[in-house]
Amino acid sequence: MSASVTPEQLKALEDSLLNTTGNVPLHIRFRALFTLKALKSEEAIKIISRCFQDPSALLKHELAYCLGQMKKTSALPVLETVLKDVNEDPMVRHEAAEAMGAISSADSIPTLKQFLSDPERAVRETCEIAIDRIEWEQSEEGKRALDTQKVERHIPLYTSIDPAPPTSKLLFGAPKPEDVSQESIDILKSQLLDKERPLFERYRAMFTLRNIGSPAAVDALASGFSDDSALFKHEIAFVFGQLLSPHSVPALLNVLRDVNESDMVRHEAAEALGGIGTPEVFPHITEWMNREDAPQVVRESCQVAIDMWEHENSGAFQYANGLEATPAQVAVA
């Protein structure tokens, strides 16, 4: 994808994201957003920031996610405003706090601390993890890890900036599944499920299991769906959306169909299923996109998931202008 665009192209992306005509389908707005994210420019940050007036919580949480992934401190003021707005949807506030963690500026710590006892559990838990993440990046281990990554030019397995790094021994790359014993997986699983540990540490086990990625690791991750933290469970579903293992489909379908599950977790399961794109997924995401009794965020996520599924199954390599992000390129938050 080109890193520079003409002013006309930028305007077209802005019109698409902001839906200035009033008839741009949501999944097309998502594609415009991911193209802007890839540009990583200050203009792109400004355009994305303008879209927080939108009524769709799904779209707004994705705006915050993208701003975090762009890792520019110029996005911090708008993210702080979103986090501080107690009338904003908690899923959007959560994503704003997580984005502040991804940008990882020590200046964000006082603001994040203000929300450690927020009435919304997902918000306070995210702030806790974001603070730990920022402190980790500035710790000896964190600094060493970032230096090693630069010097040895490690190409990360996943390009996302994650809320927590894998455990120290497996900071870089993925071991071959045959080199990982069931015993190691069991240890990671017990760390993942241990509610006595800080969430940041449990997340480190989660991202380690993601990097291992074998069916046994997927099973260990799926056991996290029995947790009582919606935040924790939605992150498991997010990780499944990155892993794209057909082995995770039954667990994700259970989440999507569970009307007692939180919207945030079901939304993430829907998008992960769209990315995996196996045939048995399609009837379920279609059903939940059309179910009038489903929460809006679940229906909209299924709409985005269908776009991803169709792309996954179309054999298309790229879109006509080569500029537009394809749904398969995006790891939606």
Give dist(CA 231, CA 125) in Å, integer: 7
Closer to Fe ion by Cβ: residue 220 or 270? 270
333 binds Fe ion (CB under 5 A): yes
Closer to Fe ion by Cβ: residue 184 or 248? 248
Question: What is the total count of residues that contact Fe ion (CB under 5 A)?
Answer: 1
302 binds Fe ion (CB under 5 A): no
| 140 carries a ligand binding annotation | no
The least CB distance from residue 162 to Fe ion, in Å, is 11
38 binds Fe ion (CB under 5 A): no
Nearest C-alpha neighbor of 78 from the set 108, 123, 114, 118: 108
Closer to Fe ion by Cβ: residue 13 or 63? 63
The least CB distance from residue 27 to Fe ion, in Å, is 15
Question: Which residues neighbour 248 within 8 Å (Cβ) at sequence distance 6 or greater?
Answer: 218, 221, 222, 240, 272, 276
Give dist(CA 69, CA 141) in Å, integer: 22
The least CB distance from residue 126 to Fe ion, in Å, is 8
Give dist(CA 128, CA 271) in Å, integer: 25
| 234 carries a ligand binding annotation | yes
Of all residues in the shown chain, the one whose CB is closest to Fe ion is: 333
The span of 215-223, 247-255, 276-284, 325-333 binding Fe ion (CB under 5 A) equals 325-333
Closer to Fe ion by Cβ: residue 205 or 269? 269
8 Å CB contact between 288 and 256: yes
Give dist(CA 193, CA 188) in Å, integer: 9
SS3 content of the chain, % helix, strand, coil (to 5): 70, 0, 30
Q: What would the DSSP string read from start to end of 254-314?
A: HHHH-TTS-HHHHHHHHHHHHHH--GGGHHHHHHHHH-TTS-HHHHHHHHHHHHHHHHHTT
The least CB distance from residue 108 to Fe ion, in Å, is 17
| 154 carries a ligand binding annotation | no
| 183 carries a ligand binding annotation | no
Q: Is the torsion defined by CA of 208, 210, 213, 216 positive or negative?
A: positive
The least CB distance from residue 237 to Fe ion, in Å, is 8
Q: Which residues are known binding-site members for Fe cation?
A: 61-62, 94-95, 234-235, 267-268
Q: Report the interface residues with Fe ion, using CB under 5 A.
A: 333
Which residue ranges make up the annotated binding site? 61-62, 94-95, 234-235, 267-268
